[in-house]
Amino acid sequence: MITSVELGNFISHSETKLNLEEGVTVFVGRNGAGKSSIIDAITFALFGEHTRKSNKSLIRRGTSQAYARVNFTLNGKQYQAERKIDSKGALGAQLFEIRNGEAMPIASGERRQFGESMTGEIESRIGLDFTKLKVASIVQQGELNSIIKAKPKEFKELLNAIIGIDKLDVAAGQLKIVQKNFRQTIQQKLGYDDTHIEILNKEIASLSDEIRSAEPQRRQLQEKKEKHESELEQIKRKVETESPKEALLVQIERRKGELTKYAKDAILLIKRNIAEKERKILACQECFQHVDSGGMLEELLQKTETEIDNITRKIQDASKNIGIMRERESLAKRLQIQDGKCPVCDSAVDHLKPIFQIEHLQQEQKNAEREIQEQEARKQQLSREKKETAEKLQRAIAARTTLAAHSIQNIGQIEAMRAEVEAQKSQIKIPDTVNTEGGLLQFASIDAHTKTLYETISDLEKQVSGFDQNEFQKLKSDLEQKRREISQIDQQYGAVTEKIKRADEKIAKNNSILSELSLVRKYLLEIDDIQTAVYDRDGPVATSLRSWALMTISAKASEYLDTLNTKIHRIELSEKARDITITCYSKNDPIDIDSLSGGEQVGVALSLRLGMAHLLGASNLNFIILDEPTTHLDEERRRSLVKVLSQISNMPNAATGPLQFIIITHDAEIFEDSSVEKIYKFESGDDGTKVSLV
């Protein structure tokens, strides 16, 4: 029940508050006085909907913001719904529950994407949305008879909403959600749900076909593998038999290389020995002829050196004499006989001593010079002889040293060495390779070690006699090829086996899943049966409820028609082919609604509305707004309408209380001497609509 309506700058109202009570409340006033604005205020506050062209048309001229606030009771609880709008079109909405005089917020705004919707909260609590409320409980001016003009399907939907069958849709929707969630849970657990049963069966059939087609292939691969393994074993035995010979070939080549290297090293050593001996022979073969004259040469050299020393002294003495003679000559030139007297002692002499005679002194100098020349010539000759003797002596010493260095004591040793050289030269006249038997044999004659190596090689070659290296390599190639073929067969066999194994496992898994899904399908089919039987709006429950509702509405509408004193005595609502039809009877004769007068049609419509109102007495919704319901009714029927409304409003209801009626009309006189609770008078003024109690 609506307990109050408050408007602020809403359409024509500047500030209006209406307190409403149970029973009948009447709004009277001229057309355009703002009576119908109350309907827009109620629907706007509850649902954000109205009959105006736009939200901005709700704002009173000259103001920037409007609001509508509705207080109502529902199932014993008090609520307050409020919506605001400004000139920019911004909206605000809040729903409160009034507890102990305090407003507790329940919902606000219309952000449905965030799960916030005041309208949705109100629809949930009332059980009707704006469209259904408008048809069932708000009869606007000129629309009283719209109920009889409604299409059969629309009337059925209205009836479903009134008796709560649409809630079966909600329950069915919830049941579908349960089914969906259950399927999701099953799919999360098993990876499938009951809709995949046929897919799983087809998959099992396909997997079984794969197994049947793969088994012969696996058997063929097994047989092929066994055959190849037998052939491989034969080749392996041959390879194992011939492998030591291949190793012996390697050993032979290694031994030949060893023999060749050793032989080359030995030959090189012999060549070096020959060279060394030849060098000794060359160095020593002429040494003996020099060694024998060594003593004589030493004596001769010593004698020559002594003679040279003597000549050197003679030359020195002669040189000194020449100096003395020259000094005497100089003196002799100063000592001359003067007047027959000696220049020294002044004694009478006829001549001087030879040592003071210039001619004698000059002759002596010439003799001395000649002697020096002769001695120099002899000295040069002796020096040459000394040099030659020294050289010969040096050769003799060198020859002696050479012989000592080579440990040669006599010429016979040199001759023996020459014989050894000739023997060794004949020994190294052999090839440098081992490609021929002759070469090996000649190598074997170098020394004892080469002979041993040669004998080892010959023995090994006897052991590999008849071995063909090319044939053996082909045999090993065949062995590797056979192994590769077996490996490929193993891979193919493994792939086929794994394929069969996976298919078997998948079949077992699918069978297990199908076993569970059969129970799931059985459970969901039972839910479908329940949904069809209980929640389907055309099912047994819904059909039974509609049948009861149609009987109730038909009976009550007929009673109201009887009160309105029309020629129509009975109204019958029936459901045919899923549509609701309305049939009117005058006594037992059916009457076409279109043949009724305008007043009679309003009477039928009003009776149906009141019949529905009676049915709604036990629902969450317990108010009806009638805007100009007396249009097309004569005076008697108008007063009968007031009487009927008063009777209905006084009907007790344990759940929601008496039904509340809000009547909007300009026929105030019909409510004189009636039992209506309140009459509000609406008047237009410069400051907006003024409302007062009558």
pLDDT at residue 114 in the model: 63
Alpha carbon 208 to its chain's center: 37
- pLDDT interval class at 72 (50, 70, 90): very high
Average model confidence (pLDDT) for the chain? 83
User: Which of 619, 560, 655 shows the shortest CA–CA distance to 137?
Assistant: 619
Q: Which two tokens stand for residue 354?
A: 């030879």
In a domain, 614, yes or no: yes
Which tens digit of pLDDT belongs to each residue from 468-480? 888 888 998 999 9
- pLDDT over 70 at 270, yes or no: yes
Q: Which two tokens stand for residue 670?
A: 């019909």
The stretch 617-632 carries a mean pLDDT of 72
Q: Which domain range does residue 594 map to?
A: 2-170+539-693
User: Which of 480, 490, 615 shows the shortest CA–CA distance to 547?
Assistant: 615
Q: Is 663 helix (H, G, I), strand (E, B) or coil?
A: strand
- pLDDT interval class at 435 (50, 70, 90): very low
Which burial class, exposed, middle or buried, applies to 179 when counting CB atoms under 10 A from its CB (0-12, 13-18, 19+)? middle
Which tens digit of pLDDT belongs to each residue from 203-220? 999 999 999 999 999 999
In a domain, 342, yes or no: no
Q: Which two tokens stand for residue 612?
A: 């529905």
- pLDDT over 70 at 45, yes or no: yes
Helix H or strand E segment including 509: helix 469-530
Identify the bridge partners of residue 348 per DSSP, sorted by sequence position. 341
Between these two residues, 407 and 381, which has the higher pLDDT value?
381
- pLDDT over 90 at 415, yes or no: no
- pLDDT interval class at 654 (50, 70, 90): very low
Between these two residues, 305 and 5, which has the higher pLDDT value?
5
In a domain, 549, yes or no: yes
- pLDDT interval class at 436 (50, 70, 90): very low
Alpha carbon 373 to its chain's center: 119
User: Which of 428, 450, 441, 439 shows the shortest CA–CA distance to 255?
Assistant: 450
The stretch 17-22 carries a mean pLDDT of 90
pLDDT at residue 47 in the model: 92
Between these two residues, 574 and 136, which has the higher pLDDT value?
574
Which tens digit of pLDDT belongs to each residue from 383-405? 898 888 888 878 877 877 877 87
In contact, 608 and 158? CB cutoff 8 Å: no
- pLDDT over 70 at 651, yes or no: no
pLDDT at residue 406 in the model: 77
In a domain, 185, yes or no: no
pLDDT at residue 419 in the model: 85
Helix H or strand E segment including 80: strand 77-86
- pLDDT interval class at 564 (50, 70, 90): low
- Which CATH number is 105's domain given? 3.40.50.300
- pLDDT over 90 at 443, yes or no: no
Within 8 A by CB and 6+ apart from 59, the residues are: 9, 10, 65, 66, 85, 86, 87
Which tens digit of pLDDT belongs to each residue from 210-249? 999 999 999 999 999 999 999 999 999 998 888 888 888 8
In a domain, 165, yes or no: yes
pLDDT at residue 434 in the model: 43
- pLDDT over 80 at 136, yes or no: no
In a domain, 316, yes or no: no
Look up residue 56 and give its DSSP letter. G
In a domain, 134, yes or no: yes
Domain count, the chain: 1
DSSP readout, 536-589?
-TTSHHHHHHHHHHHHHHHHHHHHHHHHHT-S--EEEEEEETTEEEEEEEETTE
The stretch 679-688 carries a mean pLDDT of 90
The stretch 39-59 carries a mean pLDDT of 91
DSSP readout, 110-158?
--GGGT--HHHHHHHHHS--HHHHHHHHEE-TT-TTHHHHS-HHHHHHH
Strands 138-139 and 579-586: unpaired
CA distances from 209 to 222, 417, 493, 636 (A): 20, 100, 18, 88
